[in-house]
Amino acid sequence: MTSDGGKGNFVVRQSLGGAIAFSLTQTNDTTGGATNVNRANFAGLTMNEFNGNQVNANVNFGQGTGTNVIALDPTQWHEFWIVLRKDPANIGTHQGFIYLDGSLTPLVFRITAGDGNDYPQSYIAFGGTATPQNWALDVDFFGYKIGAEFPPGAFDKIPPDITALSPGDNVTFYPPGNGISLSVTTQGTNSLPPSGFKLTLNGADVSGGLNVTGTPQSRTATYTNLATNTIYKGEIMVSDQAGRSSTNKLLFDTFVESTGVLIEAEDYNFNSGQFADNPAPAGYFGFAATPLVDYFDKTDTTFGTYRDADEVDTQSGTDTVRAKYSDAGATEYDVGLVEAGEWLNYTRTYPAGNYNVFLRASATAPQQLLLDRVTGDRTQPNQTTTSLGTFSITPTGRLNVYGYTQLNDASGNPLSVNLSGVQTLRLTAPNANIDVQENFFFVVPAPAAPPRITSATISNGMITILWANGGTLQSKTSLDPQITWTDLE
């Protein structure tokens, strides 16, 4: 299996483009140097995992999406024709087309190159995946060509290429007015019928809202009906005239910062209850907080990053970089090394209203973080608090992969909180064990609740109906067309 950031049985490394490794993997193989942990429990061809579009160290087996595998019996002879090229959609660093045992229909993967190397220049290597491991491999031959060279006759069977897709993977605060857009090309004798474009968002097929233009071999599609302050999950699939398709997952949100209050996890109070509304990116740099007044942290050390004057473990972030930060040339930070019982206070000023709260965090185990309102004096120790709700975080798999969790009640139902004026919120991690990291939370006005009938009574020949949340009561003198009423059992 791929280990050490792009090492395996066969390695292709570009000095500037990173390393991609392919390995024939058996179920008992392990990643790295340990011989008895991290078993593959998989037999077949494995390669660098997909983990974004930047060369990085976290592409080893078990560190990405886990989808870059082809199940087969590696103790039998197989032939692989592998075409590697830069990912035209910039979703992974590379795209891999794998033709197995003479088939002209490829299995296509998005791959992320690793930063591992055994030699600083570009090279092709053949060997074991990690120095401490025993291994055996029978190879008849291998050869290479420079460039993306497809097998003879395979050219007309390449699925459509999605060459640009906006928004990118796991983008946050994406402007809804930008919509979704993609470019798709195909080659040879293939074409792209507009009916082959399918868009699914949050479980609904919204393909009808796609505007598809261009020529039969080069098309652009746009979708402009994005709502603000919405978390979107979905996929875009494009099929050619023969039904060969390419699919891209979509995961992004359309939060608009100006509509709510955005609080960076690393921007906890300083100097005993001091705070700033709307700080600039990395605007609390160097500010020292007071233990047991502004925070509680279990280790007296710190990463030495961002706010190294106190004990809270702030560090450079690994979440998708937000435009706000890249535009400002600022570094993103988050809070790591979170241990059981640690808490942080955040004071901000809120326009009066009901708010939903979304926490941006990563976790390798299910975690419940608590959001409380500080009711005592935020400048003194021993503050009293009341509960506002819980963030029940579903593991994101790795600490460098972030997702949203909405504040919910004890039953797991989303809830809104009423905030007005200067408020101090406290984020507590009662059970954390260095398995959760916090990036920010976004406090966004809750949508108006729909009208709701609260009671309907009959007394002295009069029907009294009470309802909440506005609206207008309407009536109709007959139900038309005529319907038949049936007794309830």
Q: Which residues bind Ca ion (CB under 5 A)?
A: 264, 297, 299, 311, 313, 334, 337, 439-440
Backbone angles phi, psi at 5, to 5 degrees: 70, 40
In terms of Cβ atoms closer than 10 Å to its own Cβ (0-12, 13-18, 19+), residue 301 is: exposed
Q: How far is the CB of 136 from Ca ion (least distance, A)?
A: 45
In terms of Cβ atoms closer than 10 Å to its own Cβ (0-12, 13-18, 19+), residue 331 is: middle
Q: Which helix (H) or strand (E) holds 22?
A: strand 18-25
Contact 80, 22 (CB under 8 A): yes
CB atoms near residue 328 (< 10 Å) = 13
60 versus 314: smaller Cβ distance to Ca ion = 314
31 versus 318: smaller Cβ distance to Ca ion = 318
217 versus 315: smaller Cβ distance to Ca ion = 315
Please give the full DSSP string across 282-312, using - where no structure is assigned: TTTTTPPPPBTTTEE-S-S---SSS-TTSSS
180 versus 335: smaller Cβ distance to Ca ion = 335
Q: How far is the CB of 141 from Ca ion (least distance, A)?
A: 51
Q: How far is the CB of 289 from Ca ion (least distance, A)?
A: 12
Please give the full DSSP string across 337-396, using - where no structure is assigned: S-BTTEEEEEEEEEEEEEEEEEEEEEESS-EEEEEEEE-S-TTSSS--EEEEEEEEEPP-
Contact 424, 269 (CB under 8 A): yes
199 versus 337: smaller Cβ distance to Ca ion = 337
Radius of gyration for the chain, computed over Cα atoms and rounded to the nearest angstrom = 27
Residue nearest Ca ion, Cβ-based: 299
Q: How far is the CB of 362 from Ca ion (least distance, A)?
A: 12
Q: How far is the CB of 298 from Ca ion (least distance, A)?
A: 6
434 versus 466: smaller Cβ distance to Ca ion = 434
131 versus 433: smaller Cβ distance to Ca ion = 433
Q: How far is the CB of 171 from Ca ion (least distance, A)?
A: 15
CB atoms near residue 472 (< 10 Å) = 6
Q: How far is the CB of 429 from Ca ion (least distance, A)?
A: 9
